[in-house]
């Protein structure tokens, strides 16, 4: 799509608190949440969650443990059905979609507790990400018709290409469950990317990585955004990573957004320092 | 890379096909040289049926990862459907044995698949072990339903009575001259023209293997195994869970139906109680001992554990002792990675273990 083409205005005006990066400012956001919320029993795990994410934005979601960050991802991907509010993906309400349909509509994710297909090979894990773009059916597979060979070949090449983002081609034949922790996290990202999302959700992608691995991951996240031209929303506790690559950040505390802004604004925000950043500094001492 | 990997599992698959064919040739040679006793020859067709049962059940239990406790129910549906098809064709002038065998197994498979589908609709969308409970009930119910059937055939077609209160008799079928009763309620199928053969059994095994192994190594099978490994992750990459669970379960049921049809055509008298819970569990034992998801393991377990109790009759008291020992040996060999690599199979799995990062 060329840059001059404008989307027809179909959205409610974007509240000024929601950050859209400069280059996306003339376009509608890829994701917009309005008054999103969920209750577990009596507990409101997430409430009044409003956010807009630009089409090629790298956005961060931070906050103390138990703040509800993962729950937000589960709401966006419909692992949980929201109790309140609206999710607009590229202007389309995902109200009636289930998890699989949301993925087909354009949201892919990784998990805080890694969820790979452990008994399958690395390559098969990526091919499962490609599942909906591989075009042959059950009978063509059983009878090994030409469609099977053709599509499997394309899928193999595509899988290798995607694995090459993290230089993981040599691991293609290995069982996913036998990979070291860092490689498993990277494979999850590749698998999510394979499903051709327009919004990629990363839940603590740097957890358990050493500083050099984290630095490499930061580069790769930016590279992925630039190559694929997609939006990325990430949850992360590593402030170097968050402040280094995120263009917009939202801070969650007790299920509520307490601040939104650029990394500079967030770092200077007294409420954020009080609720989160300050505590982290103390922990570090 | 791909060519290497393809070779790996293709190698295992072809070794499995080759093993079945070699076993067929050896048994046929031994048989024609009079080396097999009468009782052993009588076991050949049932062995083929149980091997197919084990392979098909492994698709549900090992590949899909759902527990099914009523696989014999599908076998029973296939058996009685097959007998009806074969007998009806015979009465109406089709004498060709291969044609009747094929039709019986094909239609038996379709009937079993339809029942699998009907069970699957409510159950497969649920999470948890509901399939185990429902298939358990299904197996028992099917057995009872077949016991209520009165079926006869004449030139005008099939006559079927569902004799739920036990008040009807065969004469209520009102068969025309030259008609024949095929199923007599609790007495089961009687007077069946036994056309099942070892050759047909081996062909059935090979067809079942081709279907299951090719399915596993295709887009569809990958999706099924993804659901087994991690349902939430599978959903997160856009895989429709219920659809793929259904494909696996219905295929599994269909193959059990075909196996049942062959089984039914091996006996002139067959009662529905043959397809009870014990038979379902027996098939499950083959699958578990042969290794979940391991098709050649299922084959070996089914053959050894079906033949053994029969062949050990002569040993009297020691029979169950030896049976138990063999059970353990089968479990250790088919589930041990050393044996797997020794057998030249799953060698990928072996090499994977020693990976360190980069
Ligand atoms: N399925 C659930 N049932 C009940 N409570 C839940 C559920 N999922 C999350 N919660 C609660 O919601 C809160 C937020 O959890 P989570 O989103 O995992 O936090 P984090 O910000 O660390 O990712 C926690 O108090 C957690 O106990
Ligand atoms: Mg979390």
Phi-psi region of A245 (alpha: psi -120 to 50; beta: other; left: phi over 0): alpha
The mean pLDDT value for A272-276 works out to 87
**Domain final position from B247, B262, B293:** B293
Say whether both B259 and B338 belong to one domain: no
**Contact between B353 and A178 using a beta-carbon 8 Å cutoff:** yes
Same domain, yes or no, for B210 and B358? no
Residue A16: pLDDT band by 50, 70, 90 thresholds? very low
Ligand 1 touching residue A139 (CB < 6 A): no
Q: Has residue B121 got a pLDDT over 50?
A: yes
Local structure of B160: helix, strand or coil: strand
Which of A60, A71, A203 to probe ligand 1 with, by most ligand atoms within 8 A of CB?
Answer: A71
- CA dihedral in degrees (A189, A192, A198, A203; nearest 10)? -60
Contact residues, chain A, for B340 at CB < 8 Å = none
Mean pLDDT over residues A246-268, rounded? 92
pLDDT of residue A84: 94
DSSP-derived secondary structure letter, B62: I
Task: For residue A74, give the ligand nearest its CA.
Answer: 1
CA atoms within 13 A on the CB side of B294: 26
Partner residue opposite A120 with nearest CB, options B211, B229, B239: B229
Give domain status of residue B303, yes or no.
no
The nearest alpha carbon in chain B to A157 belongs to B2
Q: Among residues A158, A185, A182, which one has the least CA distance to residue A169?
A: A158
Beta bridge partners of B153: B158, B180
Structure tokens at A178: 């036998």
Q: Is A65 in the pocket of ligand 1 (CB under 6 A)?
A: yes
| pLDDT beyond 50 at A281 | yes
Smallest Cβ distance to B348: which of A108, A173, A179?
A: A173
Q: Which residue of A119, A123, A160 is in closest CB contact with B225?
A: A119
**Contact across the interface for B238 and A115, Cβ inside 8 Å:** no
Say if B3 is an interface residue toward chain A (CB within 8 Å).
no
Q: Measured between CB atoms, which of A101, A108, A141 is closest to B215?
A: A141
pLDDT digits (tens, 9 = 90+) for A203-248: 999 998 899 999 999 999 999 999 999 999 999 999 999 999 999 9
Contact B1 A143 (CB under 8 A): no
Greater pLDDT, B223 or A15: B223
Residue A202 clears pLDDT 70, i.e. is over it: yes
For residue B52, tell me if it sits in a domain: yes
Choice from A36, A38, A40 to test ligand 1 binding pocket (greatest atom count within 8 A of CB) = A40
Is B305 among the domain residues? no
DSSP-assigned letter for residue B276: S
Of B293, B323, B345, the one marking the end of a domain is: B293
- Domain count within chain B: 2
Q: Are B76 and B143 in contact (CB under 8 A)?
A: yes
Q: Is A122 in the pocket of ligand 1 (CB under 6 A)?
A: no
CA distance B321 to A210: 56
A279's CB contacts (< 8 A; 6+ apart) are A64
pLDDT above 60 (res A3) = no
Q: Tell me: the pLDDT tens digits for B24-38?
A: 999 999 999 998 888
Quick one: average pLDDT of B81-94? 92
Give the mean pLDDT of A64-90: 95
Judgement on whether residues B230 and B329 belong to the same structural domain of the protein: no
Is B230 in the A-facing interface, judged by CB distances under 8 Å? Answer: yes
For residue B339, what pLDDT band results from cuts at 50, 70 and 90?
low
Domain match, B129 and B195 both: yes
Q: B173 and B141 share a domain?
A: yes
SS3 B151: strand
Residue A235 alpha carbon to ligand 2 centre in Å: 8
Domain that holds residue B71: 46-293
Nearest to A123 by CA among A150, A149, A162: A162
Length of chain B in residues, anyone?
358
In a domain, B119, yes or no: yes
SS (H, E, C) chain A: CCCCCCCCCCCCCCCCCCCCCHHHCCCCCCEEEEEEEEEECCEEEEEEEEEEECCCCEEEEECCCCCCHHHHHHHHCCCCCCCEEEEEECCEECCCCCHHHHHHHCEEECCCCCCCCCCCEHHHHHHHHCHHHCCCCHHHHHCCCHHHHHHHHHHHHHHHHHHHHHCCHHHCCCEHHHCCHHHHHHHHHHHHHHCCCCEEEEECCCCCCCHHHHHHHHHHHHHHHHHHCCEEEEECCCHHHHHHHCCEEEEEECCEEEEEECHHHHHHCHHHHHHHHHHHHHHHC
Same domain, yes or no, for B325 and B218?
A: no
Q: In terms of domains, do B219 and B336 share one?
A: no
If you measure from the C-alpha of residue A156 to the centroid of ligand 2, how many angstroms do you get, rounded to a whole number?
33
Is B304 among the domain residues?
no
Give contacts of B5 with chain A, Cβ < 8 Å. 121, 123, 172-173
Residue B34 lies in a domain: no
- Nearest Cα residue to atom 10 of ligand 1: A45
Task: Identify whether residues B223 and B322 lie together within a single domain.
Answer: no
Distance between CA atoms of A16 and B172, rounded to whole angstroms?
83
Are B259 and B197 within one domain? yes
Residue B247 and residue B59 in contact, taking contact as beta carbons nearer than 8 Å: no
CB contact under 8 A, B232 and A136: no
Nearest to A120 by CA among A200, A185, A195, A179: A179
Judged by CB atoms closer than 8 Å, whether chains meet at B220 and A172 is answered as no
For residue A182, the chain B residues in CB contact (below 8 A) are 357
Structure-token pair, residue A128 = 């499962």
For chain A, say whether B240 makes contact (Cβ under 8 Å). Answer: yes
Each residue's pLDDT tens digit, A147-180: 999 999 999 999 999 999 999 999 999 999 999 9
Residues B277, B211 share a domain: yes
Q: B41 in a domain, yes or no?
A: no
Angle, alpha carbons A198-A193-A216 (nearest 5°): 110
Give the model's confidence band at A13: pLDDT under 50 very low, under 70 low, under 90 confident, else very high. Answer: very low
Question: Which position has the token pair 């099977």?
Answer: A148
Chain B: residue whose CA lies nearest to A182? B357
Q: Quick check: B239 and B220 in contact, CB under 8 A?
A: no
Same domain, B242 and B321: no
Residue B63, in any domain of the structure: yes
Q: Are A145 and A209 in contact (CB under 8 A)?
A: no
pTM of the model: 0.89
- Shared domain check, B229 and B81: yes
pLDDT at B178 over 90: no
Percentage helix, strand, coil, to 5, in chain B? 75, 5, 20
Min Cα separation B169/chain A (Å): 45
Tokens coding A144 = 């090994």
């Amino acid at each position: 799509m060329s840059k001059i083409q404008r989307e027809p205005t179909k959205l409610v005006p974007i509240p000024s608190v929601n950050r859209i990066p400069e280059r996306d400012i003339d376009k509608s956001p890829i994701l917009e949440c309005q008054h999103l919320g969920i209750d577990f029993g009596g507990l409101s795990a997430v409430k009044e969650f409003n956010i807009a994410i630009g089409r090629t934005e790298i956005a961060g979601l931070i906050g103390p443990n138990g703040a509800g960050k993962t729950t937000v991802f589960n709401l966006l991907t419909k692992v949980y059905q929201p109790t309140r509010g609206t999710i607009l993906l590229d202007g389309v309400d995902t109200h009636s979609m289930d998890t699989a349909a949301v993925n087909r509509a354009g949201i892919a994710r990784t998990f805080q507790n890694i969820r790979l297909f452990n008994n399958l090979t690395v390559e098969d894990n990526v091919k499962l990400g490609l599942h909906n773009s591989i075009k042959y059916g059950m009978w063509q597979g059983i009878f090994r018709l030409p469609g099977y060979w053709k599509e499997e070949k394309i899928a193999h090449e595509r899988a290798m290409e995607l694995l090459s983002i993290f230089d993981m081609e040599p691991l293609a034949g290995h069982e996913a469950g036998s990979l070291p922790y860092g490689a498993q996290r990277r494979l999850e990202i590749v698998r999510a990317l394979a499903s051709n999302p327009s919004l990629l959700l990363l839940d603590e992608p740097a957890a358990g990585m050493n500083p050099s691995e984290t630095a490499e991951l930061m580069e790769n996240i930016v590279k992925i955004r630039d190559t694929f031209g997609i939006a990325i929303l990430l949850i992360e506790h590593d402030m170097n990573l968050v402040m280094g690559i995120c263009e917009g950040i939202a801070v969650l505390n007790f299920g509520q957004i307490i601040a939104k802004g650029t990394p500079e604004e967030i770092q200077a925000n007294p409420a954020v320092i009080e609720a989160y950043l300050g505590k982290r500094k103390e922990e570090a001492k | 890379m791909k060519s290497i990997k393809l070779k790996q599992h293709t190698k295992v698959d072809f070794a499995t096909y080759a093993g079945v064919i070699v076993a067929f040739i050896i048994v046929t040679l031994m048989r024609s040289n009079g080396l097999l006793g009468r009782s052993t020859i009588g076991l050949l067709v049932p062995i083929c049926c149980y091997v197919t049962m084990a392979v098909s059940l492994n698709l549900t239990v090992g590949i899909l990862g759902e527990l099914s406790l009523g696989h014999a129910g599908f076998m029973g549906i296939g058996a009685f459907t097959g007998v009806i098809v074969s007998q009806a064709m015979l009465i109406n002038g089709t004498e060709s044995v291969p044609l009747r065998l094929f039709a019986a197994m094909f239609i038996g498979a379709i009937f079993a698949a339809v029942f699998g589908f009907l069970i699957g609709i409510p159950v497969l969308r649920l999470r948890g072990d509901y399939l185990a409970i429902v298939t358990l009930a299904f197996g028992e119910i099917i057995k009872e339903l077949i016991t209520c059937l009165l079926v006869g055939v004449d030139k005008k077609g099939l006559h079927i009575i569902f004799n739920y209160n036990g008040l009807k008799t065969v004469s209520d079928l009102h068969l025309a001259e030259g008609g024949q009763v095929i199923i007599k309620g609790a007495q089961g199928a009687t007077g069946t023209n036994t056309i099942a053969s070892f050759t047909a059994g081996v062909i059935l095994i090979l067809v079942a293997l081709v279907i299951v192994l090719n399915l596993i190594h295709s887009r569809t099978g990958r999706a099924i195994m993804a659901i087994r490994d991690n349902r939430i992750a599978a959903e997160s990459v856009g895989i429709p869970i219920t659809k793929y669970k259904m494909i696996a379960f219905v295929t599994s049921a269909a193959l059990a139906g075909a196996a049942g049809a062959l089984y039914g055509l091996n006996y002139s008298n067959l009662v529905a109680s043959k397809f009870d819970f014990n038979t379902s569990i027996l098939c499950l034992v083959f699958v578990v001992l042969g290794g979940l998801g391991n098709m050649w393991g299922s084959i070996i377990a089914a053959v050894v554990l079906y033949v053994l109790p029969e062949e050990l009759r002569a040993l009297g008291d020691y029979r169950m002792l030896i049976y138990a020992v063999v059970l353990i040996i089968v479990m250790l060999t088919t589930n041990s990675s050393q044996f797997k690599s020794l057998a030249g199979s799953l060698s990928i799995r072996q090499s994977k273990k020693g990976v360190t990062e980069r």
